[in-house]
């Protein structure tokens, strides 16, 4: 018993534990080619370079008349300029005519500027008093109301750097350049192993003393959201042989492995012992100075990260966010770490905390005339709806004894 408890006497701060894990985990970023239209959320494997300019030709930004800017100088309501109408620019084709001095061409938004034109007068500032003649009430300078060739992207520009996650805007940009395929980082396979004699899959009848498996499904969703490919295995009974067999198989088939086991000391020992036997260097951290989730195990076995999460659903999900998500991002080669969505708020009531330990608290946001109020959602770490009812989490730093009501906090949102 004393040996077991001593494992948790020297607890590691979460940031130090993560740094230790990442430093010992080899990167396994590998490419695959996919359809660009289906690349939302994926991570670019290599720099993507524009093969042609965007737009490929100078075009009008408005409906109006393409002109030589010099022909409009001095035009006003009281002293309009008069130009000959040379023709209309068809959409999706070249003009078919060039502007001579004193001429203009009717053009629509997105139309290709005719040769000789260097500006566009908005149609609102014109009228046609006679057939073939246009009256202009505004002067324009060169480039007014024109989108120049290559103004968005020039040939050879890096439009997407390696390690960038693709959003809707990037998908649109690739389509604008006619790129139908691209190389992305292969999603790392994350083995999810849940254990517990009391667990049964959802949908089956429950007998006395049994509960439905929660962690397999929350972790599956978290891995998917982070960009990984979850690989789920059958529930593991609390037996060493079963632990070893499942862990060995997952380590071969996946890029990283996540255990979620019961919270009893005996089950924690099964998990720790199994992980320690999977291969060197083995367990790096056993115990993290955080609440919830103190009995977390971080390891690297045979070149792959292995994480032992607490069995309680709230603890498992919070700790997975702190350690599993960054690991997946490392395997994806993600370099652009955009800020996680957060909302500033005032704390609704006093929160006590144990000094020297980082603590994460679920909160619900309440809108007020002065901004948001963060109301803690209290619940034990085995109650999943503690998090389901919350909008996000706040962090109480390890050097604080708690937070006072009215304190300004940063709420990291569930997304």
pLDDT (mean) for 50-75: 95
**Cα–Cα distance between 374 and 395 in angstroms, integer?**
12
pLDDT score of 151: 93
DSSP codes, 176-205: HTT--EEEEEPPPEEEEEEB-TTEE-TTSP
**Cα–Cα distance between 229 and 16 in angstroms, integer?**
27
pLDDT (mean) for 229-258: 92
Of the ranges 159-173, 204-218, 252-266, which one carries the lowest mean pLDDT score?
A: 252-266
pLDDT (mean) for 215-238: 93
Which domains can be identified in the chain, with CATH numbers?
2-29+187-331 (3.40.980.10), 31-52+157-185 (3.90.105.10), 59-147 (2.170.190.11), 342-413 (2.40.340.10)
State residue 75 phi and psi, 5-degree precision.
-65, 140
Q: Which two three-digit tokens encode residue 241?
A: 């042989």
Q: What residues contact 311, with CB distance under 8 A and at least 6 apart?
A: 196, 215, 260, 261, 262, 263, 267, 382
pLDDT score of 54: 92
Pairing of strands 371-376, 358-368: antiparallel
**Cα–Cα distance between 223 and 335 in angstroms, integer?**
18
Q: Is the pLDDT of residue 123 over 80?
A: yes
pLDDT score of 7: 45
Q: Is the pLDDT of residue 5 over 60?
A: no
Per residue in 181-198, pLDDT (tens digit) is 999 999 999 999 998 888
What confidence tier does 315 reach under pLDDT thresholds 50, 70, 90? confident
Question: For residue 129, how many other CB atoms are within 10 A of its CB?
Answer: 9
Percent of the chain with pLDDT over 90: 63
Of the ranges 28-37, 128-137, 222-231, 351-360, which one carries the lowest mean pLDDT score?
A: 351-360
**Cα–Cα distance between 147 and 150 in angstroms, integer?**
9
pLDDT score of 197: 83
**Cα–Cα distance between 230 and 228 in angstroms, integer?**
6
H or E stretch at 322: helix 313-331
pLDDT score of 381: 54
pLDDT score of 267: 60
Helix, strand, coil: what percent of the chain each, to 5? 25, 30, 45
Q: Is the pLDDT of residue 221 over 60?
A: yes
State residue 364 phi and psi, 5-degree precision.
-110, 135
Start-to-end Cα distance in the chain: 41
Of the ranges 101-110, 218-227, 228-237, 388-397, which one carries the lowest mean pLDDT score?
A: 388-397
pLDDT score of 298: 93
pLDDT score of 276: 83
Q: Which two three-digit tokens encode residue 132?
A: 């073939």
Percent of the chain with pLDDT over 70: 93
Of the ranges 140-154, 205-219, 330-344, which one carries the lowest mean pLDDT score?
A: 330-344
Q: Average pLDDT over the chain, rounded to whole?
A: 89
Q: Is the pLDDT of residue 338 over 80?
A: no
Q: What residues contact 369, with CB distance under 8 A and at least 6 apart?
A: none
Question: For residue 132, how many other CB atoms are within 10 A of its CB?
Answer: 8
Per residue in 69-119, pLDDT (tens digit) is 999 999 999 999 999 999 999 999 999 999 999 999 999 999 999 999 999
pLDDT score of 61: 96
What confidence tier does 11 reach under pLDDT thresholds 50, 70, 90? confident
Whether residue 236 contacts residue 274, with contact meaning beta carbons closer than 8 Å, is answered with no
pLDDT score of 4: 42
Q: Which two three-digit tokens encode residue 182?
A: 């691209």
**Cα–Cα distance between 22 and 32 in angstroms, integer?**
24
Whether residue 48 contacts residue 153, with contact meaning beta carbons closer than 8 Å, is answered with no
pLDDT (mean) for 176-184: 94
What confidence tier does 234 reach under pLDDT thresholds 50, 70, 90? very high
């Amino acid at each position: 018993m004393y040996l077991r408890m001593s494992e948790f006497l020297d607890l590691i701060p979460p940031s130090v534990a993560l740094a230790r894990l990442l430093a010992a985990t080899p990167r396994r970023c590998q490419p695959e080619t996919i359809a660009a239209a289906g690349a939302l959320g994926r991570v670019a494997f290599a720099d993507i370079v524009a093969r042609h300019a965007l737009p490929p030709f100078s075009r009008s930004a408005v409906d109006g008349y393409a002109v030589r800017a010099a022909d409009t100088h001095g035009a006003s309501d009281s002293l309009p300029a008069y130009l000959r109408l040379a023709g209309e620019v068809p959409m999706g084709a070249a003009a078919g005519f060039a502007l001579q001095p004193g001429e203009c061409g009717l053009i629509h938004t997105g139309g290709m500027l005719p040769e000789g034109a260097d500006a566009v007068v908005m149609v609102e500032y014109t009228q046609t008093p006679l057939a073939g003649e246009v009256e202009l009430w505004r002067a324009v300078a060169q480039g007014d109301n024109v989108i120049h060739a290559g103004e968005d992207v020039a040939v050879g520009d890096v439009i997407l750097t390696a390690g960038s996650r693709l959003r809707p805007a990037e998908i649109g940009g690739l389509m604008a350049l006619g790129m139908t395929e691209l190389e992305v980082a292969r999603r790392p396979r994350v083995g999810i192993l849940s254990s517990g004699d009391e667990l049964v899959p959802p949908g089956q009848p429950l007998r006395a003393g049994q509960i439905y498996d929660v962690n397999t499904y929350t972790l599956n969703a978290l891995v998917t959201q982070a960009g990984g490919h979850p690989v789920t295995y059958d529930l593991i009974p609390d037996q060493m042989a079963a632990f070893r067999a499942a862990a060995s198989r997952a380590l071969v088939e996946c890029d990283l492995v996540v255990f979620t086991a019961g919270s009893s000391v005996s089950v924690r020992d099964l998990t720790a012992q199994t992980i320690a036997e999977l291969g060197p260097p083995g367990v790096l951290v056993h115990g993290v100075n955080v609440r919830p989730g103190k009995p977390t195990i971080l390891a690297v076995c045979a070149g792959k990260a292995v994480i032992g999460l607490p069995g309680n659903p709230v603890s498992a999900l919070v700790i997975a966010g702190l350690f599993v998500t960054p690991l997946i991002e490392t395997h994806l080669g993600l370099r652009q770490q955009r800020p996680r969505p957060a909302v500033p708020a005032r704390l609704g009531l006093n929160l006590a905390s144990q000094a020297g330990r980082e603590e994460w608290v679920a909160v619900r946001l309440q809108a007020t005339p002065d901004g948001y109020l963060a109301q803690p959602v209290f619940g034990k770490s085995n109650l999943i709806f503690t998090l389901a009812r919350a909008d996000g989490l706040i962090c109480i730093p390890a050097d604080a004894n708690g937070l006072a009501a009215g304190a300004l906090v940063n709420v990291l949102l569930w997304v």
